[in-house]
Structure 1
Amino acid sequence: MTSYPNSVELFAGAGGLAMGVERAGFKTTAIIEKDKWACQTLQQNKSFFTATNSNSLEIFHGNIEEFDFSTLTKNVQLVSGGPPCQPFSLGGKHKANSDNRDLFPQAIRAVRELRPQAFIFENVKGLTRSTFSNYFEYIRLQLTFPDIVQKSGEEWFEHLCRLELHQKQSSYDHHSYQVKTQVLNAANYGVPQKRERVFFVGFRSDLNISWSFPSQTHSKYRLILDQTKNGGYWDRHKVPKEQRIYTELSKNNLTNLEKEIDLLPWSTVRDALADLPPPYSRSIKSNVKSNRVTAHFAQPGAKAYKGHTGSPLDEPAKTLKAGVHGVPGGENMLRFHDGQVRYFTVRECARLQTFPDDFEFHGSWTETMRQLGNAVPTELARVIAHSILKKLHILN
């Protein structure tokens, strides 16, 4: 019988990270999420997150601060999640630890109380900015030594100093974790989206595991070559020569091509959406019934303006975003070569995040786009989780 290591997902959203972990070979036993629409999405697609059967998965709707991890009776090998990114995002208020939406302390609590063999946490690249450098190190050290908790009345910077002192004076043991961090671009792993995120990955120190982040498999320079030197990209999509308008990528030199010659080309928006029919109107009900693609309705109102020009058809998409007050005007639009723009449909966004076509989302268009904008691309999650699973299987 196949053995599936148990995983628990925090701050799950629509479940992109959880699905990637599941595809890698883990068994999701519990998901914790506070947004009601995301929870409805998770319930609707419960079968995607269970390696054996949907009855083995519990979905908890509520605030993680109130969650009692002792209620999870199954042994947990992996904890994963993406704590809310607004405190660190470029579009946010940049309050970091003073923002009450910073839930990294709850991620650390989960590690402390569940004692998993490994964990994966994801956040926006903005967390790595120099203005957050002390707090970034604070997060890393708390994940390294989760038992060294903040004392009552102790400021976070004082706690950081105590953690740094502990790191200098103490050897790593079964109460600590070996933690590695790295910013990854999803496009470098076959995702049709230029999405940079920082990942925290840790292994329990007593396991004595040596691990590094997976090497990239896809390359911008290989895409340039595919679009310029040999034309294979255009031939594959049956684009007539007179319509082959080279993208901004092709203006770059190919000096890096030699070292990346064995990699695959970046996947583009055209690659991801090539077999989808044009978006259909909500007013044409017959199309809804006959078309096999769900959530592929056209959304009116897209406009291009300075700084919001949309994602070019023949590059990976710009980073899909959730937005505090709905969907931004640029990142979630498709831009054609003639300058016309339109919003990506929900199904197109799901493809850009590497969700399967039969995955259904709950909530309004804005709520659904928020779920998608906050998600971890499932393929990137799978690559990372699979590299972790290979190391944990050494123990079995």
Structure 2
Amino acid sequence: MSKTAVAPVIPSADPPDLPVVEDVSTRLTSVELFAGAGGLALGCQMAGFKSVATVERDRWACDTVRENKQRGHELVADWNVYEGDVRKFEWSVVTEDVALVAGGPPCQPFSTGGLAKAADDPRDMFPATAEIIAGLRPKAFIIENVRGLTRSAFADYYEYIQLRLALPTAIAKQGEEWIEHLHRLRAAIGNRQRYGLNYIVMPTLVNAADYGVPQQRHRVFIVGFRGDLDVEWTFPAATHSKHALLHSQWITGEYWEEHEVPKSKRPERPKAQVPEYLIADEPKQRWRTVRDALVGLPEPTLRPSRTVLNHELQPGARSYPGHTGSPLDMPAKALKAGGHGVPGGENMLRNVDGSIRYFTVRESARLQTFPDDYELHGSWGEAMRQLGNAVPVLLGQVVAESVHKALIKEGFNS
């Protein structure tokens, strides 16, 4: 792994202007669960939260955060990283009044690529998350997971998760199955005040591309505010759209002009109808594409780049039916946690001429909107696993900033 210090390279198609909050007086405390390589946690830090505990059980992901902290990365400089199971962490060491609990419980119990065993999967950490929230009593929480959680097969359990987070102290009885607990929670939610601690829970399914992330990544966010705070909040509105991208490519041509792509190097125009006019109430900013994300990066070689972190060509990419990679001039497919042979070839780039290759770690980090000076620890496959499991930093920042603003507006800044 290269330790060469490099300056960040900024893509030309800028994401929304969401700078790192510098006013320390407005920083609110947060706890990050299942932090991984830091996607959601970095977004929360950039949005104005200060982590007092960052918990992750995977050693490689913890090493990523620790090594960036050792290198002096400003976003993680003050993080307290705890490697281990959130259920075994001694939460009594967190003595601060916690404003936010954020995290993405393991998605494998609900992923279409997993066994889809939900509550019967030992990796289901939603009950543990509710118990931690009950103990810390944060003003708000942001919980993220895969859209597979919203499948009809999981309808009851999805409802159970929301009710469990809404009434975190209404725990299951000894030997009580979750479905029995669900029936009790359904009856209890109408009189939530009797439990004291309760949360107004708002779930939303979003596509990261609609928020400036150069990747079509559909995720569920479950956001909750403590019931006694009376906070007004709605999920942030989309800022980018597919129609705006198609319009800039095939009606005005601005996209190709911006990238200086001659007509001979452009893909074929889509057979589907391209909107000649943008819809009035649709976001005017265009989806960001793979080409946008890779601006400024040199073409990778088999030798590590001396100027860019984690930028080395991984050989062996193959294309076959159903495994075609991400087209250059659309947002990428959702990166998968792993390296070779994943369904759909999500971790591969497909050029206009049909040639394919694997994304480098840095290119994948760009697609997940990690800072260019944030180094991923481990081999290509290990780093890709960390990135594939991560929340896009920008999306995390958008959501966390909206929560931060809602809390600050109501005066909850202490």
TM-score range relative to shorter protein: over 0.9
**Alignment partners' CA distance in 1, 2:341 and 2:45:** 30
Partner of 2:330: 315
Q: Is the partner of 2:365 in helix, strand or coil?
A: helix
Q: How does 1:77-92 map to 2 (within 5 A)?
A: 77-92=99-114
Q: Pick one of 386, 391, 395 that aligns with 2:406.
A: 391
**Alignment partners' CA distance in 2, 1:192 and 1:252:** 22
Q: 1:27 to 1:263 in 2, by over 3 A?
A: same
Q: Which amino acid aligns with 1:4?
A: R
The farther-off stretch of 39-48 and 218-227 is 39-48
Partner of 2:314: 299
The farther-off stretch of 326-335 and 299-308 is 326-335
Task: For residue 50 of structure 1, report the CA deviation from its aligned partner.
Answer: 4.8
- Specify which structure has the higher proportion of helix: 1
Q: Pick one of 263, 275, 288 that aligns with 1:267.
A: 288
**Alignment partners' CA distance in 1, 2:168 and 2:262:** 58
Partner of 2:15: none
Q: Which amino acid aligns with 1:367?
A: E
Q: Pick one of 54, 58, 70 that aligns with 1:35.
A: 58
Contact 1:219 1:260 in 2 (8 A): no
Q: Is the partner of 1:65 in helix, strand or coil?
A: coil
Contact 2:322 2:344 in 1 (8 A): no
1:95-121, Cα deviation, whole Å (9 max, x unpaired): 000000111111111110000000000
1:243 aligns with 2:258: no
Q: Pick one of 258, 261, 268 that aligns with 2:279.
A: 258
Contact 2:247 2:274 in 1 (8 A): no
1:74-127, Cα deviation, whole Å (9 max, x unpaired): 221000000000000000001000000111111111110000000000000000
Partner of 2:223: 201
1:13 aligns with 2:46: no
Q: 1:252 to 1:68 in 2, by over 3 A?
A: farther
Contact 1:141 1:163 in 2 (8 A): yes
1:44-71, Cα deviation, whole Å (9 max, x unpaired): 12355758xx3x4211001112112112
Q: Which amino acid aligns with 1:146?
A: P
1:315-337, Cα deviation, whole Å (9 max, x unpaired): 00000010498855600000011
**Alignment partners' CA distance in 1, 2:136 and 2:276:** 48
Cα-Cα RMSD: 1.9
Partner of 1:153: 175
Q: Which amino acid aligns with 2:366?
A: R
Q: Pick one of 353, 370, 373 that aligns with 1:338.
A: 353
1:370 aligns with 2:385: yes
Partner of 1:95: 117
Task: For residue 260 of structure 1, report the CA deviation from its aligned partner.
Answer: 4.5
Task: For residue 171 of structure 1, report the CA deviation from its aligned partner.
Answer: 4.1
Q: How does 1:60-209 map to 2 (within 5 A)?
A: 60-171=82-193, 174-209=196-231
Task: For residue 73 of structure 1, report the CA deviation from its aligned partner.
Answer: 1.6
1:27-58, Cα deviation, whole Å (9 max, x unpaired): 1111000000000001112355758xx3x421
Contact 1:6 1:76 in 2 (8 A): yes
Q: Which amino acid aligns with 1:69?
A: W
Q: Which runs of 5+ in 1 are unaligned?
A: none
Q: 1:195 to 1:29 in 2, by over 3 A?
A: same
Q: 1:325 to 1:368 in 2, by over 3 A?
A: same
**Alignment partners' CA distance in 2, 1:306 and 1:337:** 17
Q: Pick one of 391, 395, 398 that aligns with 1:380.
A: 395
Contact 2:247 2:276 in 1 (8 A): no
TM-score under structure 1 length normalisation: 0.93
Contact 2:46 2:75 in 1 (8 A): no
Partner of 2:67: 44
Task: For residue 136 of structure 1, report the CA deviation from its aligned partner.
Answer: 0.2
TM-score under structure 2 length normalisation: 0.89
Task: For residue 294 of structure 1, report the CA deviation from its aligned partner.
Answer: 1.3
**Alignment partners' CA distance in 1, 2:401 and 2:378:** 31
Equivalent residues, number: 386
Q: Is the partner of 1:385 in helix, strand or coil?
A: helix
Contact 1:10 1:31 in 2 (8 A): yes
Q: 1:257 to 1:246 in 2, by over 3 A?
A: farther
Contact 1:228 1:246 in 2 (8 A): no
Q: Which runs of 5+ in 2 are unaligned?
A: 1-23
Partner of 1:4: 27
Task: For residue 2 of structure 1, report the CA deviation from its aligned partner.
Answer: 2.1
**Alignment partners' CA distance in 2, 1:86 and 1:49:** 32
**Alignment partners' CA distance in 2, 1:260 and 1:139:** 33
Q: Which amino acid aligns with 1:196?
A: H
1:234-261, Cα deviation, whole Å (9 max, x unpaired): 000001122222454x724428831345
1:262-321, Cα deviation, whole Å (9 max, x unpaired): 520000000010211000212xxxx64xx3111110001101111110000000000001
Partner of 2:8: none
**Alignment partners' CA distance in 2, 1:107 and 1:48:** 28
Q: Which amino acid aligns with 1:269?
A: V
Task: For residue 141 of structure 1, report the CA deviation from its aligned partner.
Answer: 0.1
Contact 1:247 1:314 in 2 (8 A): no
Q: 1:198 to 1:347 in 2, by over 3 A?
A: same
